[in-house]
Chains A and B, each alone.
Chain A
Amino acid sequence: EDKVVQSPLSLVVHEGDTVTLNCSYEVTNFRSLLWYKQEKKAPTFLFMLTSSGIEKKSGRLSSILDKKELFSILNITATQTGDSAVYLCAVRETSGSRLTFGEGTQLTVNP
């Protein structure tokens, strides 16, 4: 059974700090890893990663995948209070369409 483990589960930082969120996975036939941001509503898509070592970047957010070590990180630089949310990591197998999610990391950015 596919498994996704995120760490830390909870993180509190001050505005301006840089944070790194971790996601490790076990999946039989890996196809892609996705990051979502969830405020008090539906998850919103951030990144989809399929290849090792290629960083994806969007503004202050960036993410990279290591398929050998089976993990991904999500970095947020110069955090803002609006970054406060749950960040979800999910994996998809080659054979299916379902996403298997981790528990999420609850990030709180204090002013």
Chain B
Amino acid sequence: DTGVSQDPRHKITKRGQNVTFRCDPISEHNRLYWYRQTLGQGPEFLTYFQNEAQLEKSRLLSDRFSAERPKGSFSTLEIQRTEQGDSAMYLCASSRDRVEQFFGPGTRLTVL
């Protein structure tokens, strides 16, 4: 499968714990995006990378959130000191320059 992949698909954690998600984009895509989606809403932009450079961050991305794309390939999104309000589907997407974005299956986070 040459699509966008995400790991894990589901994560249940207790409030206050740290979690890390991984995204592997489509191999020839230089742009990688993170979005968050809650029930009944469309995805909300969090951040994006062009190659290894993080070029834009939403104000939704509090200081508890950090994202990296160290070699311009896969990316990780870490949430520190999770809160119940962080429960959501975290979607990763990739694109080749500014054309259509292709989404991965998402990581569903539940914070108890």
Q: Is A98 a contact partner of B56 (Cβ separation < 8 A)?
A: yes
Q: Is B106 a contact partner of A41 (Cβ separation < 8 A)?
A: yes
Q: How far is the CB of A86 from chain B (nearest CB, A)?
A: 9
A101 at the interface (CB under 8 A from B): yes
Once A42-B91, A90-B42, A104-B42 are accepted as A-B contacts, the answer to whether A99 and B101 lie under 8 Å apart by CB is yes
Measured CB to CB, the nearest residue on chain B to A9 is B40
Chain A residues with a Cβ under 8 A of chain B: 4, 31, 34, 36, 41-45, 48, 88, 90, 92, 96-104
Q: Is A92 a contact partner of B103 (Cβ separation < 8 A)?
A: no
Q: Is A103 a contact partner of B45 (Cβ separation < 8 A)?
A: no
Q: Is B103 a contact partner of A99 (Cβ separation < 8 A)?
A: no
Q: How far is the CB of B10 from chain A (nearest CB, A)?
A: 13
Contacts of B31 in A (CB 8 A): 97
B41 at the interface (CB under 8 A from A): yes
The count of residues in chain B whose C-beta lies closer than 8 Å to any C-beta of chain A is 26
Q: Is A96 a contact partner of B102 (Cβ separation < 8 A)?
A: no
Q: Is A101 a contact partner of B42 (Cβ separation < 8 A)?
A: yes
Complex: A34 Cα to B33 Cα, angstroms: 16
B105 at the interface (CB under 8 A from A): yes
A-B contact pairs, 10 of them (CB 8 A): A42-B91, A42-B106, A88-B42, A92-B98, A97-B31, A99-B33, A99-B45, A100-B45, A101-B42, A102-B42
Complex: A4 Cα to B31 Cα, angstroms: 23
Once A48-B99, A48-B100, A103-B40 are accepted as A-B contacts, the answer to whether A41 and B105 lie under 8 Å apart by CB is yes
Q: How far is the CB of A27 from chain B (nearest CB, A)?
A: 13
Once A88-B42, A97-B31, A99-B45 are accepted as A-B contacts, the answer to whether A45 and B100 lie under 8 Å apart by CB is yes
